[in-house]
Amino acid sequence: MTAVSEFKPGLEGVPATLSSISYVDGQKGILEYRGISIQQLANYSTFLETSYLLIWGKLPTKDELTEFEHEIRYHRRIKYRIRDMMKCFPETGHPMDALQTSAAALGLFYSRRALDNPQYIREAVVRLLAKIPTMVAAFQLMRKGNDPVQPRDDLDYSANFLYMLSEREPDPLAAWVFDVCLTLHAEHTINASTFSAMVTASTLTDPYAVIASAVGTLAGPLHGGANEEVLVMLEEIGAVENVAPYIDSLIAQKSKIMGFGHRVYKVKDPRATILQQLAEKLFEKFGHDQYYEIALELERVVADRLGGKGIYPNVDFYSGLVYRKLGIPADLFTPIFAIARVSGWLAHWKEQLTKNRIFRPTQIYTGSHNETYVPIDERN
């Protein structure tokens, strides 16, 4: 029988798998994908090259990368029946719900569950990486009453996504910054959504169900949903001089400050540092606004009040600021996180398949025994 002392709420500190995909040192602020620091990948790689590294475990050669990029370009379009299905979604629905539904719908077309066939695995990886951005952009346009914009084969992955959102070719700096954002969000060990993906994968269901289940988990405000909440908070604060009273009142009410704190990092999240540098570049080129100044003051005030508890900005703090500057609506921030994280989820799906054992943890029962069934008329 499991001892109550072994129970860890939230499974904190409990290893759920053996993995060689990514590594985090929360005390030193280190994040590595396949042993390579996130700083090097942000500086020198692209999102698709990083995805290849995560999923296939090694950096691609030039030919391998060209082929991978080519396959993804080729699979970007979505079937008109998926588009028609998405047209029926209520325009007031959250884009994460639309994404979860459409990711699951891909399984209606492509699910053969041929998990021992490397070609099936490759096609699933390519289709999911290629089609998820198209579905996010399509819902964004259709909820505004517009037709979706077809992907453009001459544009790179990130430039094409920004193009599909606005039908305008993005500024090269904007496309590069966005691509780095995807790299930063691509993978982060066994977080809630990745764990969800692994549990689903362990049943040997199809990869579209795996990704749909992870998308549903990412949607919550304690996980991917926090970047949207950060922006709401910056807008509520409205001016630099309001930051300290706003934060003090949240602390007094014991409310969480969105975009701060992390289960693993007890120093500033290295991704937040890189995102802050990207935000600076964007604001330099496209003009400053009060939100950047509010964010800086917020970071200073929270470090002063809560730094002693190891509460610093996490990846969600500056990402909202960057996306807002790129003209992206706040409720697309989490779907964009999903676009990026698909590569990490797929890497874990593939890893899970190589050593699968269905997840079936135990519980400590706290209910009663030998109760009597009382007929409904006799209950009070």
Residues of this chain that bind ligand ACO (CB under 6 A): 222-224, 226, 256-263, 306, 309, 311, 314-316
Residue closer to ligand ACO, measured from CB, 149 or 218: 218
Q: How far is the CB of 232 from ligand ACO (least distance, A)?
A: 12
> CB of 48 within 8 A of CB of 65?
yes
Q: Which is nearer to ligand ACO, 58 or 254 (CB)?
A: 254
DSSP code, position 78: -
- In this complex, which beta carbon is closest to ligand ACO, that of residue 115 or of residue 306? 306
Closest distance between ligand ACO and the C-beta of residue 309, in Å?
5
Shortest Cβ 262–ligand ACO spacing (Å): 5
- Give the shortest CB-270-to-ligand ACO separation in angstroms: 13
Q: Are 299 and 317 in contact (CB under 8 A)?
A: yes
Active site residue: 179, 206, 269, 316, which one? 316
The three-state secondary structure class of 32 is strand
In terms of CB distance, is 85 or 303 closer to ligand ACO?
303
Cβ-based nearer residue to ligand ACO, 206 or 316: 316
Rounded Cα–Cα distance for residues 157 and 151 (Å): 10
Question: Which helix (H) or strand (E) segment is 30 a member of?
Answer: strand 30-33
- Assess whether 262 carries a catalytic annotation: yes
Other CB atoms within 10 Å distance of the CB of residue 63 = 8
- Residue 127 CB partners (closer than 8 Å, separation 6+): 75, 106, 110
Using the 8-state DSSP alphabet, how is residue 14 labeled? -
Closest CA to 289 of 355, 252, 240: 240
Dihedral sign for Cα atoms in the order 103, 107, 109, 115: positive
What's the min distance (Å) between Cβ of 311 and ligand ACO? 5
Q: How far apart are the first and last CA of the chain?
A: 36
Take residue 186 and report the two structure tokens written for it: 């691509």
Which one is catalytic: 188, 262, 269, 348? 262
Which residues are designated catalytic?
262, 316
